[in-house]
Amino acid sequence: DQQVKQNSPSLSVQEGRISILNCDYTNSMFDYFLWYKKYPAEGPTFLISISSIKDKNEDGRFTVFLNKSAKHLSLHIVPSQPGDSAVYFCAVPKEYGNKLVFGAGTILRVKS
Amino acid sequence: SAVISQKPSRDICQRGTSLTIQCQVDSQVTMMFWYRQQPGQSLTLIATANQGSEATYESGFVIDKFPISRPNLTFSTLTVSNMSPEDSSIYLCSVVSTYTQYFGPGTRLTVL
């Protein structure tokens, strides 16, 4: 039973344009949602999170939107840079603050 | 933030042997976890490493196959026992610090 789904395995975007990464979830009880970025040969790096009581959280070029009625969240990167090329995972806590359940990941390629 | 190191960074092992992976954190942390990322897959939680008591394993993972030690609040080991090619994965140590989960760089294991 996949609790978190990232249906797009890859995304290619031109430098300077917007990258939109999507994630769907099944459980309405999740308290917050996280995005991680992973480069090859490195561990995932925390990027941004959003509480279930909010619908938007912004941090520099990164904005996460939460649509609770649709059980959908998205990560927007504006403007996209070649250094953003990585695998992006959405994740939810299985237990508060602790065990994480990850989506399958989306490979983002930003072309210069 | 927490700085996490893992040893070894990678290894190639023969079927039937065992490998112990070490995880060192630069500060004392209560929550420490071990994850696995199989080729082309997302991250999956193996177990919670508990200091002073036995690890707590997720469904599908057992102590005989993945024994874990947690002698103190900055260190843990994961052993992959009696390895088979299906154990070829990236193994990641993770900790919770200031309400954020951080990951080590991972250990890339290839079993022949």
Residue-wise pLDDT tens for chain B (112 aa)? Answer: 789 999 999 999 999 999 999 999 999 998 899 999 998 889 999 999 988 888 999 999 999 999 999 999 999 999 999 999 999 999 999 998 877 889 999 999 999 9
Q: Which of A1, A39, A102 to mutate: most B Cβ within 10 Å? A: A102
Q: Which of A48, A98, A101, A107 to mutate: most B Cβ within 10 Å? A: A98
A43 to B105: CB separation less than 8 angstroms, yes or no? yes
Answer whether residue A29 shows pLDDT above 80: no
CB A38 within 8 A of CB A21: no
Phi-psi region of A47 (alpha: psi -120 to 50; beta: other; left: phi over 0): alpha
B48 to A97: CB separation less than 8 angstroms, yes or no? no
d(CA B70, CA A68): 39
CB A21 within 8 A of CB A88: yes
The model's confidence at residue A97, banded by pLDDT at 50, 70 and 90, is low
CB A39 within 8 A of CB A30: no
